[in-house]
């Protein structure tokens, strides 16, 4: 049985932090490296791949079936996703380039924090030092910046209703 390479997943969990939490949706973005369309069983492509937890999220939320990454490398594609611009607009066009332009940009996490959301980042980062992730709008960080094993736990106590 083929397993999904979740160790390379960039998982952004964004939980609402205000009394009106029930009025706003939770937002979860799974962003993976080397992930093909058929690598999730909710896509219905092959029956030997089983991803029941991701399938449950897809069934109870919105499943975006049409999208693309703006770069074939992890660093510029993640930077573009978080900023909401083509990464060439702020100078992060390939792995190994300066992140100075990215560091000056406002990220979706910063915008969501301003709107009262609690933000968290899990997994692969590669957009600078892990200790600097909070500078980009993530309150809670469970990061991996290398190819080593990774595990994280989060308490549902983060969600205030």
Instruction: Give me 126's structure tokens.
Output: 């590669």
Say what the alpha-carbon torsion angle 78, 81, 86, 87 is, to the nearest 10 degrees: -30
Q: Quick one: pLDDT at residue 13?
A: 34
Looking at residue 125, what is its pLDDT? 85
Beta-bridge partners for 29: 12
Taking the domains of the chain in order of start, what are their residue ranges? 1-67+108-148, 70-105
pLDDT band at 105 (very low <50, low <70, confident <90, very high): very high
pLDDT of residue 156: 56
> Is 140 in the active site?
no
Q: Which helix (H) or strand (E) holds 119?
A: strand 117-124
Active-site annotation holds for 74 = yes
> What's the mean pLDDT when you consider all of the chain?
78
- At 130 the pLDDT is 81
Which candidate in 7, 35, 42, 74 is catalytic?
Answer: 74
What is the value of pTM for the model shown? 0.72
Which residues fall within 8 angstroms of residue 3, CB to CB, at 6 or more apart? none
Instruction: Of 27, 19, 31, 14, give the one whose Cα is nearest residue 138.
Output: 14
Residue 10 has pLDDT above 50, yes or no: no
């Amino acid at each position: 049985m083929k397993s999904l390479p979740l160790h390379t997943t960039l998982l952004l969990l964004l939980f609402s932090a205000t009394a009106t939490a029930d009025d706003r949706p939770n937002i979860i973005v799974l962003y993976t490296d080397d992930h093909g369309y058929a690598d999730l069983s909710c896509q219905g492509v092959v029956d030997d791949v089983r991803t029941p937890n991701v399938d449950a999220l897809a069934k109870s939320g919105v499943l975006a079936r049409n999208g693309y990454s703006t770069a074939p490398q992890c660093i510029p594609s993640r930077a573009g996703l978080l900023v909401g611009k083509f990464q060439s607009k702020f100078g992060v066009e390939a792995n190994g380039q300066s992140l100075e332009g990215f560091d000056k940009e406002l990220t979706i996490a910063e915008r969501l924090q301003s709107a009262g959301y609690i933000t968290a980042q899990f997994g692969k980062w590669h957009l600078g030092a892990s200790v600097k992730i909070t500078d980009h709008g993530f309150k809670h960080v469970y990061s991996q910046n290398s190819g080593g094993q990774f595990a994280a736990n989060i308490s549902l106590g983060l969600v205030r209703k």
